[in-house]
Amino acid sequence: MIGPDFGERRFLAIASDYDGTLAEEGSVSATTLAALKRFKAAKGVLILVTGRVLPELAQIFPALDVFDLVVAENGALLHWPKSGETRLLAEAPPPEFVAKLKSMGVGPISVGHCIVATWEPHQTLVLEAIRELELDLTIIFNKGAVMFLPTGVNKASGLEAALAALSLNPSDAIGFGDAENDLAFLKLCGLSVAVANALDSVKQAADWTTQAPRGAGVTEVLEQYMAAEKTA
């Protein structure tokens, strides 16, 4: 088989990670963007599910408004690019948490509305700060990045909120990912796809692994699905 078996299922939405999945070194190719637009033109819904904070995402991806809805900060907020509306799905960490991390020499630190992120091997110091401040935060890894969010907040919880806002079910979506923080939301989707460059754990959990890496892999599946729709 050269592609996933779509059977008679009709998928109404695409839910994709950004870095390492759609994007390579922060950029989305024109070919991948065109495939997304073709899916959307066929009345498909596009959802971006990323660990990035919105300001940096908007800066590196000017075509953000191709997506109907963005799940940012690893599930902590929803953003509607067309209207500019943003809805927080979690509480922000107390200011003393970031101050404590800086005093411990943790850096660089990225701070969003809810997420606090750094890089390995700083997770040990961050966990120490969480214990000292008695915070209810969870650690999430992403290919060397270390993210801290309120317990229960992840890409799966964010995608569930996004799908509910769009009156869609998880079974309506094809999910694309490459890293360990994508596993939770991929399990929700009606069809889960790992791009060729994904971690082995993601490939093992996904329903299908693409032949091409990153955005080319996403394009590969989208083209196959749209071709199958035309012949259905």
What pLDDT is recorded for position 121? Answer: 92
Q: What are phi and psi of 182, to 5 degrees?
A: -90, -15
Q: Is the pTM of this model over 0.75?
A: yes
Encoding tokens for residue 16? 């994709």
Query: CA–CA separation, 170 vs 186, rounded Å?
Result: 10
Encoding tokens for residue 94? 């107390």
pLDDT, tens digit only, all 232 positions of the chain: 467 878 778 999 999 999 999 999 999 999 999 999 999 999 999 999 999 999 999 999 999 999 999 999 999 999 999 999 999 999 988 999 999 999 999 989 989 999 999 999 999 999 999 999 999 999 888 888 899 999 999 999 999 999 999 999 999 999 999 999 999 999 999 999 999 999 999 999 999 999 999 999 999 999 999 998 877 5
Rg, Å, the chain Cα set: 18
- Beta strands 110-111 and 191-194: pairing type? unpaired
- Beta strands 13-16 and 69-72: pairing type? unpaired
Polymer length in residues for the chain: 232
Torsion sign over Cα 53, 54, 58, 64: positive
What pLDDT is recorded for position 1? Answer: 44
Query: CA–CA separation, 44 vs 226, rounded Å?
Result: 10
Domain ranges of the chain: 13-89+153-231, 95-150
Encoding tokens for residue 181? 């923080």
What pLDDT is recorded for position 8? Answer: 78
CATH number corresponding to 95-150: 3.90.1070
What pLDDT is recorded for position 232? Answer: 59
Using an 8 Å Cβ cutoff, are 78 and 39 in contact? no
CB contact set of 195 (below 8 Å; sequence gap of 6+): 20, 21, 176, 177, 178, 209, 210, 212, 213, 214, 217, 218
Q: Classify domain 13-89+153-231 at the CATH superfamily level.
A: HAD superfamily/HAD-like (3.40.50.1000)
